[in-house]
Amino acid sequence: MSDIMHTLEAVMKRAIVAAFAVMLTMGTNAQSNSLDELTAHRAQARAVEAVIWGMPIVNYDLMLQEMLTKTPGKVNQVIYWGKPLDWKNQTLTPNPDTLYLMAFLNTKDAGPIVIEIPPAGAAGSLNANIVNAWQQPLEDAGLLGVDKGAGVKLVMLPPGFTGQVPAGFEPLQPNTFGSYALFRSNMKSHGDADVANSIAYGKQIKIYPISQASSPPQTVFTDVKDVVFDSTIRYDDSFFVNLHRAVQSEPWLPRDRAMIDQLRAIGIEKGKAFAPDAKVKQALAAGIVEARAWMAAKYDAGLPPFFEGTHWTVPAHPDLLKAAAAEFEEPDAYPVDWRGITYTYAYIGIKRLGAGQFYLINIKDRDGQSYDGATTYRLHVPPDVPVEQYWSLTAYDRDTHALIKNVDRASRASNNANVNRNADGSVDLYLGPKPPAGQEANWIPTDPARKFELMFRLYGPKQELFAKSWKLPDVERFATTVGGATK
């Protein structure tokens, strides 16, 4: 049984014992139950729900705070990584085979903000996703987005905005002051010239207030490639500091008003400082441990398979994908649990998943075992992968869901000229602490002291993928021979 399951089991046992004790006391002498004791049980339960409910906006705030405290970048500007990502980018499950640019936007003081996407062409192309502060998908843009590569001027509107949007601009209504845009500037290869071209094309993005649309100011770009940018989820009391900041800065969405009293019980209330006393701090500490154990166990149990008979799964639970596509406006559905779980290992929402990109997650090998960084594995990628752009395989730390620290590279991709192909066009990729003999070009290093997980990306996926006429097989342990012994 995994450490996660042991932790969950311990948490559940404590909860059952506590609940049984409360029932016994209530049954024998209800008057002996103090209000303080009952309040403490209530606070822990509400802390658990606050963590699950608040995960996407805390995830967003962690990235925003990293930008504000670790880099010169500012809101309504653009930060970018001036090379393919390495382990210093500790965001959740990022893509090392494209150039990343990010913009954190806020309309509270500046009013409507324009995101201008350049046309695709010989100079380059983008895959862009825009979300609100809750990471709810608003629009996809770029070569495979709403503009189909023609370029577009999107306008983020403040909550309650009733003014006119000028012709030529496409309005988006986040319903939050804060929003976020992730731009992936596509690379033809990992070569220096192609990387430079990708950066130059990405810098054609423009961010400016619509009030200055007649003469837009120059967009500020800040290269953060050498910054240790760590937005992994903090499972400690700082989580509630992030959540409190988000509650103060953003309006209540009507669907979430039931959380107002829930959060007040743990010291988070709009317009008031966050200053929990010792008892509430104890409840928060126990609550986040319980929430983490539950979400991790649900993730470890697995998402629905994409290819039947394999451990390649859909990127998020179908209930969440359906709700996000409906902008969370379904009258009888609001999958907060699956949303919370998803944003423990990922960030950004995609409006039309499968149009511009598609993801496959894998946390278990062919035998149903978790991946061990001390073991060598092989993935056979069949020929004719159904993509218009490229495919890639990336390894992540199983506990943090970020790139494995202190390794030279995290992925292998079809847009990397160094990857060797078999005679039939298929590719064999290897993962482990050391490359098998002669396989350095197709090897993804792992940390022998850490578990890991995988993501297979398909950019510009074709219909054959969804028709399942092409299938990605499971990852298998790779037997190597050392000194006559098979390992």
Q: Following DSSP, what letter does each residue of 200-235 receive, concatenated?
A: HHHTT-EEEEGGGTTSPPPPPEEE-TTS-EE-----
Rounded to an integer, the average pLDDT of 253-268 is: 96
Task: Report the C-alpha gap between 435 and 472 in whole angstroms.
Answer: 22
Helical ranges in 75-142 per DSSP H: 107-110
Whether the per-residue pLDDT at 31 is higher than 70: the answer is: no
Whether the per-residue pLDDT at 481 is higher than 90: the answer is: no
Predicted local distance difference test score (pLDDT) of residue 26: 46
Sign of CA dihedral 195, 77, 171, 216: negative
**Cα 84 from chain centre:** 18
Predicted local distance difference test score (pLDDT) of residue 33: 67
Local structure of 368: helix, strand or coil? coil
Q: How confident is the model at residue 9 (pLDDT cuts 50, 70, 90)?
A: low
* Predicted confidence (pLDDT) per residue in 320-356, tens digit: 999 999 999 999 999 999 999 999 999 999 999 988 8
Task: Report the C-alpha gap between 156 and 170 in whole angstroms.
Answer: 9
DSSP letters for 379-396: EEE-SS-SEEEEEEEEEE
| Residue of 69, 90, 94, 101 lying closest to 181 (CA atoms) | 101
* Predicted confidence (pLDDT) per residue in 156-206, tens digit: 999 999 999 999 999 999 999 999 999 999 999 999 999 999 999 999 999
Q: Which domains does the chain have, with CATH numbers?
A: 3-67+233-299 (1.10.3360.10), 72-226 (2.60.40.1610), 304-486 (2.60.120.600)
266-269 long-range CB contacts below 8 Å, 24 or more apart?
266/43, 266/46, 266/47, 266/50, 266/240, 267/240, 268/50, 268/240, 268/243, 268/244
Whether the per-residue pLDDT at 425 is higher than 80: the answer is: yes
Task: Report the C-alpha gap between 91 and 475 in whole angstroms.
Answer: 25
Count other C-beta atoms under 10 Å from residue 163's C-beta.
Answer: 11
Packing angle of the helix pair 238-249, 278-301 (nearest 10 deg): 90
Amino acid at 182: L
Q: How confident is the model at residue 146 (pLDDT cuts 50, 70, 90)?
A: very high
Whether the per-residue pLDDT at 433 is higher than 50: the answer is: yes
Q: How confident is the model at residue 479 (pLDDT cuts 50, 70, 90)?
A: confident
Predicted local distance difference test score (pLDDT) of residue 237: 95
Beta strand residue intervals within 60-159, DSSP E: 78-80, 89-90, 99-106, 113-117, 126-132, 137-142, 152-156
